[in-house]
Amino acid sequence: MVSEVNWKKSFNNEITSLVAIGKSVVDRKLVVGSGGNLSMLLPDRKQFLITATGSELDQLDQSSFAIVDLNGNFSEGSPKPSSEYRVHLESYRARSDINTCIHLHPQASIFAAAIDEDIKLITTDHLYYLRKITRIPWIAPGTQAVADATALALADCNIIILENHGCVVVADNPRLAYSRALNLEEAAEMTIRSVMLNVKPRLVPDKFKEYLREKGL
């Protein structure tokens, strides 16, 4: 077990960030109720905060978070973590450059994958925030298998679609992770609209990719 800490007081900034994201993702209809989970690596980079099992993401407060260390141990004195804590754990193990992991159930993103449509990057914001999206065929939620598959896929991208399940988005700060989640769903909605209209939208030109590379963005 991780030694007990006064996490309510010690990690107020991280909790405040995740509470704000939780309310926003529900308001934006990226998730319904407890259908998702949020986490953030703590400053020691040895533990992370994660929403507790059954947490309603638009009703989070300081009591809504568990602490898990990078060996998978739960902290004494905190609630039981989300059943998807393994996805977050393996993401942090796989990527030393991230500190935020968001798992949501956005309807358009899930539906686009269900009809076997790759999500199209139509705006410059889509390309800037998303770059590459990787789809993983359905694996039972809450299992080590889905966590391992996610970690493997995160080797070269920040956005994962878990087919018939949801998405996993990572970043080096919570604001960027949230922006990526928003742009993923917007791109998915535009993709579905293009299918319904039977049109092929003009995608962001490769020239913009080159520009981003040149600027180191």
* Model pTM above 0.75: yes
- Asked if residue 12 belongs to a domain, the reply is yes
CA angle 48–93–20, rounded 5-degree value: 35
- Asked if residue 2 belongs to a domain, the reply is no
**Is 84 a catalytic site residue?**
yes
3-class secondary-structure state, position 6: coil
pLDDT in tens, 89-138: 999 999 999 999 999 999 999 999 999 999 999 999 999 999 999 999 99
- Asked if residue 44 belongs to a domain, the reply is yes
- Asked if residue 1 belongs to a domain, the reply is no
Quote the pLDDT of residue 7: 54
Query: What's 139-189 look like in SS3?
Result: CCCCCHHHHHHHHHHCCCCCEEEECCCEEEEEECCHHHHHHHHHHHHHHHH
Average confidence (pLDDT) over 147-160 = 97
Quote the pLDDT of residue 198: 97
- Asked if residue 132 belongs to a domain, the reply is yes
Q: How far is CA 174 from CA 75, 120, 181, 198, 204, in A?
A: 22, 24, 11, 36, 26
- Asked if residue 183 belongs to a domain, the reply is yes
Query: What's 53-75 look like in SS3?
Result: CCCCHHHCCHHHEEEEECCCCEE
Average confidence (pLDDT) over 181-190 = 98
Active-site position among 14, 84, 185, 186: 84
Which sign, positive or negative, has the C-alpha torsion 22, 23, 28, 33?
positive
Share of the chain above pLDDT 70, in %: 96
pLDDT value at 83 more than 50: yes
Question: Could you give the number of structural domains in the chain?
Answer: 1
Reading the block at residue 183, the tokens are 């742009």
Pick left, alpha or beta for residue 100 (phi over 0 → left; psi -120 to 50 → alpha; otherwise beta): beta
Q: List the domain range (segments joined by +) for residue 133.
A: 7-215
Give the span between the Cα atoms of 71 and 47, in whole angstroms.
9
User: Please, which pLDDT band fits residue 141 given cuts at 50, 70 and 90?
Assistant: very high
C-alpha neighbours within 13 Å on the C-beta side of residue 68 = 25
Helical packing angle, 85-94 and 144-153, nearest 10°: 30
